[in-house]
Amino acid sequence: MFYLGISAYYHDSSVALSDADGNLVDFKKEEWLSRIKGDKTFPRLALQELINFFNLSEENIKSITFYEKPVRSWISVLKHSIKNNPLSNDLTRNYFKNVWNSSMRFQMDISKYIKIKKIPLLYSDHHLSHTLSALHYYNNFPCVSVVVDGYGDKYCTSIHHVKSDKEIINLWNSEYPNSLGLFYSAITDFLGFSINEGEYKMMGLASFGQPKFFENLKKTIKFEDNKLITDTKYYDYVRRIDRSFSDLLIDLFETEPRLPNVSLEIGKKNFQAYADIAASAQKVLEELLFSIFQYAYNLTKERKFLFSGGVAMNSAAVRKCSKLKFIDQLNISPSPGDSGAAIGASYFGFLNERKKKFANFVSKNNIKNNLFPGKFKSKDNFLEFGFDKVADTDTFLNETSKLIAKNEIIATCYSNIETGPRALGHRSLICNAHSSELVKKLSTEIKKRNLFRPTAPAILKEYAEKYFYLENSLTNCYMHMAATATPKAEFLENIRGVVHVDNTSRIQICNETQLLGKILNNLKKFDIYLIANTSFNISSDPMVYDEIDAVVALHKMKIKYLLTENGLFRKKFEIRV
């Protein structure tokens, strides 16, 4: 029997499948299959693939859980808009016009793919789905869960007291439009990046600036009397659909919003002004997170924290939060955003069923064995796509290591894909991290990313402790690049390419059973202890999913080598792109 969880209609739709014991057996994002980054449409391709892999039908699906309550979600923003804007306002009209593109149509959509007469359709609270997506990986009770995102069904921030996997108490919320996530998105929009896509670019840019606008900006959103309050005079997301910031915010920054075609190059005109704005917003975000975490502690006295929602992807803020003296453990799921909420939804289905049947239950889920769920195998037909096989499975790791030592860049399309937004080795581009020139080439020339965006390193645990100052509270986060660490001064020059301008690295600590761990183990003999690891996609494309995407991406990026579970391949010729 299976429990299906679905997240869709707002951003990054996805499907998760748990088995009868609540273990995550597969997870797919629609964007991997549709090839449209951030695809938010009903995840029909992802669902179809799971139906085919697992022969899903009404006979073996115990429940289908949608990750939020659709009517509540649709009404909450609408109510606010009707109350505060003229009736014919753009946002109100947009909500009415798009009612049939929203989650209100979930039941209709799902019934096209699975007969739902015999299967219960469940609806989890949006922020509960986030909490459960983290809890699925860290069944460690009691603890407190902090959820911070743009907007869920009614709430934008929540504090849940997780007393057990039968009792999760909703202690505190901030309601729309008082949203830390929407605040950060509004500044992202101001800086000319796309909302829900450019937030991590803004985080990278922030390190180059000084928080010159911090004092002014913090007046627009504050945590006061245990309430998060946004001054919506500065933010147009409450009234417009084409822009998230208001003219007042432009006046506050005394800078024109950046047009997307104006290049952001270090040292060039306006770069510093925009970096200062990003730094100010980052500082506001961090300070408000500190207050929310403090309040969560005051309410529960728990020292173990779960953190989820889109804002939990802000790895720079995560590290700073982990230093708060009352936090012993800060755990984040590999996919803390809305797509990962499908995992929480499927887990909700399991817990809902289990409470009827079992008295005592110990979950076997943990972060170590759930980073790459699924049944994916790439096909071995690269020879017919213009590739040579360089090494078979008995020697491919050795050969890969030799090529890395020769400063080659290797792409991987290896077995199951990672659940989260960070590539952890199975859909990665990897190279020698000790060569800063090579890392720069990988990031800017090959991946076409801005120079201000950092590249992350992967490292074995024994060397992580040698090269970096690690936070004990973030041990789990380091396994999937959810937090940054500071390199030790004596090694800085040796790994400059994977250290950001603020002197931090978003490290991935690998164990020796993982693909990158095995490669790192092999690389010791070449005196290479870190590899640069970035996702196998060109900027603004989704991560590569299968062998066809891999071939296309290799040509787009002009990369020669591809490592799959079937061997190591070399491209024989380039196709003009």
* Interface with other proteins (CB under 8 A), residue from 139, 352, 475, 486: 352
- Candidates 23, 386, 444, 463: give the one binding other proteins (CB under 8 A): 386
String marking each residue 120-139 x if it binds other proteins according to CB under 8 A:
xxxxxx--x--x--------
Instruction: Report yes or no: 95 and 191 within 8 Å, Cβ to Cβ.
Output: no
CB of 83 or CB of 325, closer to other proteins: 83
Rounded to an integer, what distance in angstroms lies between the CA atom of residue 549 and that of residue 543? 9
Containing 570, the helix (H) or strand (E) segment is strand 567-571
Cα angle, residue 552 at apex, residues 546 and 556 outer, rounded to 5°: 135
Distances (CA, A) of 211 to 193, 270, 280, 281, 286: 19, 15, 4, 8, 12
Report in angstroms the alpha-carbon separations of 401 from 19, 410, 516, 571. 37, 10, 10, 18
Q: Which of 100, 254, 261, 406 binds other proteins (CB under 8 A)?
A: 261
- Give residues 516-575 in contact with other proteins (rule: CB under 8 A): 540-541, 546, 548-549, 551-552, 555-556, 575
Which of residues 261 and 513 has its CB atom nearest to other proteins in the complex? 261
- Positions in 6-35 near other proteins (CB under 8 A): 34-35
Helix-strand-coil percent breakdown of the chain, rounded to 5? 40, 20, 40
Instruction: Tell me which stretch binds other proteins (CB under 8 A): 77-85, 248-256, 398-406, 408-416.
Output: 77-85
The nearest distance, CB 72 to other proteins, in angstroms, is 5
Nearer of residues 241 and 273 to other proteins, judged by Cβ = 241
Instruction: Identify residues 438-477 at the interface with other proteins (CB under 8 A).
Output: none
Q: 425: number of CA atoms within 13 Å, CB side? A: 29
| Binding residues among 157-186 for other proteins as defined by CB under 8 A | 160, 165-173
Nearest distance in Å: CB 122, other proteins: 4
Question: Which stretch in 273-281, 348-356, 412-420, 437-445 sits in contact with other proteins by CB under 8 A?
Answer: 348-356
Binding to other proteins in span 230-249, by CB under 8 A: 242-243
Residues 488-517 that bind other proteins (CB under 8 A): none
Q: From residue 188, give the alpha-carbon distance in Å to each of 152, 259, 433, 496.
A: 19, 12, 29, 27
Give the span between the Cα atoms of 249 and 190, in whole angstroms: 9
Give the contact letters, 303-332, x = binds to other proteins (CB under 8 A), - = no: ------------------------------
Site string for other proteins, 213-232 (x = CB under 8 A): --------------------
Q: Nearer Cβ to other proteins, position 310 or 425?
A: 310
What part of residues 86-125 is at the interface with other proteins (CB under 8 A)? 87-88, 92-93, 96-97, 120-125
Task: Compute CA distances 177 → 130, 186, 230, 433, whole Å.
Answer: 19, 12, 7, 43
E strands, 338-419, in order: 387-391, 410-413
Nearer to other proteins, 114 or 122 (CB): 122
Pick the stretch among 288-296, 335-343, 346-354, 414-422 that binds other proteins (CB under 8 A): 346-354
Sole residue written with tokens 């006979």: 59
Residue placing its CB nearer to other proteins in the complex, 293 or 347:
347
Question: How far, in Å, are 11, 200, 331, 515, 526 from residue 131 at the CA level?
Answer: 18, 22, 11, 29, 43
Q: Is 407 left (phi over 0), alpha (psi -120 to 50) or beta?
A: left
Among 292, 351, 479, 509, interactor with other proteins by CB under 8 A: 351
Taking CB under 8 A as the criterion, the residue among 224, 259, 267, 325 binding other proteins is 259
Q: Give me the 413-442 binding string for other proteins, x by CB under 8 A, dash otherwise.
A: ------------------------------
329: which strand partners? 304
**Element (DSSP H or E) covering residue 25:** strand 24-29
Using alpha carbons only, how large is the chain's radius of gyration in Å?
A: 23
**Cβ of residue 37: shortest distance to other proteins, in angstroms?**
4
In sequence order, what are the residues at sequence separation of 6 or more whose Cβ sits closer than 8 angstroms to the Cβ of residue 268? none
Nearest distance in Å: CB 33, other proteins: 9
Q: Confirm or reject binding of residue 335 to other proteins (CB under 8 A).
A: no
- How distant is the alpha carbon of residue 207 from its chain centre? 20
User: What binding mask, one character per residue, do residues 139-158 give for other proteins by CB under 8 A, x or -?
Assistant: ---------------x----
**271-300 vs 315-322: helix axis angle to the nearest 10?**
40
CB of 69 to other proteins, least distance (A): 5
H-helix or E-strand spanning residue 348: helix 341-357
3-state SS, residue 148 = strand
Q: How far is the CB of 510 from other proteins (least distance, A)?
A: 30
Minimum CB separation from other proteins for residue 561, in Å?
18
Contact residue for other proteins among 1, 71, 108, 266 (CB under 8 A): 71
Q: Which of 52, 83, 490, 527 binds other proteins (CB under 8 A)?
A: 83
For the bound state, the minimum distance from the C-beta of residue 224 to other proteins, rounded and expressed in Å, comes to: 19
Q: Which listed range, 193-201, 334-342, 409-417, 449-457, lies at the site for other proteins (CB under 8 A)?
A: 193-201
Distance from C-alpha of 563 to C-alpha of 522, rounded to nearest angstrom = 15
The residues near 146 (Cβ < 8 Å, ≥ 6 apart) are 157, 158, 159, 292, 293, 296, 305, 306, 307, 308
How many positions of this chain bind other proteins (CB under 8 A)? 76
Q: Does 37 bind other proteins (CB under 8 A)?
A: yes
192 forms part of the interface with other proteins (CB under 8 A) = yes
Residue 159 forms beta bridges with which residues? 146, 172
How far apart are CB 377 and other proteins at their closest, in Å?
A: 15
